[in-house]
Homo-oligomer: A and B are copies of this chain.
Amino acid sequence: MIAILKHGTTPEQTKHLINWLARMELDVHVSEGAEVTVLGLIGDTSRVDMELLSSLEMVESVKRVSEPFKQANRKFHPNDTVIEVGKVKIGGGNFAMMAGPCSVESEDQIIEVAKAVKAAGANILRGGAFKPRTSPYAFQGMGGQGIDLLLKAKAETGLPIVTEIMDISTLDLFADVDIIQVGARNMQNFNLLKELGKTNKPILLKRGLANTLQELLMSAEYIMSEGNENIMLCERGIRTFETYTRNTLDLSAVSVLHELSHLPVIVDPSHATGKAKLVPPMAVAATAAGTDGLIIEVHNKPACALCDGAQSLTPAQFEELSRKVQRIREAIV
């Protein structure tokens, strides 16, 4: 870590600062320049409160030379992490195609969709049991019962399942769930992250709506610091001024996360765009950008002629997309 001191800082102030840093068990290497004085801080700088240090009157700026995340850092783990979920592998060249309905609604529904997406190329089943909703008056999901139905669909099809946890008090209900999803709104629910770190479950960690990629990696670090290294990072759109799409899918995240970290990266084009028409082009674009997997909403409501056009694909649309994704994967090798 480098701290640049302002021109005009007195030797006494500099001494004060060095003493303060020394109390955090850091060695300080002082380099006096013509314009500024640069302090090189050596030791475990991950404990240094960078915002506090930056805000000191005498400090011009502070720069981390090493990233504040360690276990998620590719520098220290050059090889891609490969996560195994049943017979499915994710990362390191293995592709996860997660698909399923927005919400679990009934046994018939989830089993029917599970069969359809399996036939169409999915290797993991998604479905919401606990639903985070902006309004307290909206349907909040089937809860534990929804998880039971997902497990039935798993028994029927053999597909591993991924579903979202909203609160640590419900962790027991996820005992047989294959991948636990942490939603965008919970990306910085640090107590939840720590508890999930104590399990050995694969975690699908979604990027928050207004969180930087470094913050996403720090949240992965929370889980990893407790011992669980099975984490997938998920880009699902960020909040910007553009209103035509629900969020703005940031596909550069795929490359940046692969550069900075060894963890697999998954892209969710359904929630990012909010429009079924945009899901296939963004899914193939994500594939071309090198994502390790996709998570796609697919519904199966032949009786509901209305629902085409919503953010979910039909099984037929999903099958066509699967084939296209496969062709792209071959083209970028």
Contact = CB atoms under 8 A, between A and B. Distances in A.
Given A55-B311, A242-B213, A252-B245, A17 B136 contact: no
A60 B66 CA distance: 10
Interface stretch (A33-41, A79-87, A92-100, A111-119): A33-41
Contacts of A212: 241-244
A306 B58 contact: yes
Interface string A246-275: 101111101110010000000000001111
A197 to B, nearest CB: 9
A245 B256 contact: yes
A31 B35 CA distance: 13
Contacts of A304: 20
Chain A binding surface SS class: mixed
Given A55-B274, A252-B278, A284-B332, A46 B137 contact: yes
A175 interface: no
B248 A306 contact: no
B31 A31 contact: yes
Interface stretch (A120-128, A144-152, A155-163, A183-191): A183-191
Contacts of A58: 306, 309
A245 B254 CA distance: 12
Interface residues of A, number: 111
Interface in A28-53: 29, 31, 33-36, 38, 40, 42, 44, 46-47, 49, 51-52
Contacts of A194: 136
A29 B40 contact: no
Interface of A: 2, 4, 7, 13, 16-17, 20, 29, 31, 33-36, 38, 40, 42, 44, 46-47, 49, 51-52, 55-58, 60-61, 63, 65-66, 68, 132-139, 166-169, 185-186, 188-192, 194, 208-210, 212-215, 218, 221-222, 225, 238-246, 248-252, 254-256, 259, 272-278, 281-282, 284-290, 304-311, 324, 327-328, 330-332
17 contacts: A35-B40, A36-B65, A55-B274, A55-B275, A57-B306, A57-B310, A58-B306, A68-B135, A68-B137, A135-B218, A137-B225, A166-B191, A169-B191, A208-B210, A252-B272, A255-B277, A285-B286
Nearest 7 CB-CB pairings of A with B: A57-B309, A210-B210, A288-B288, A31-B31, A167-B191, A33-B40, A46-B137
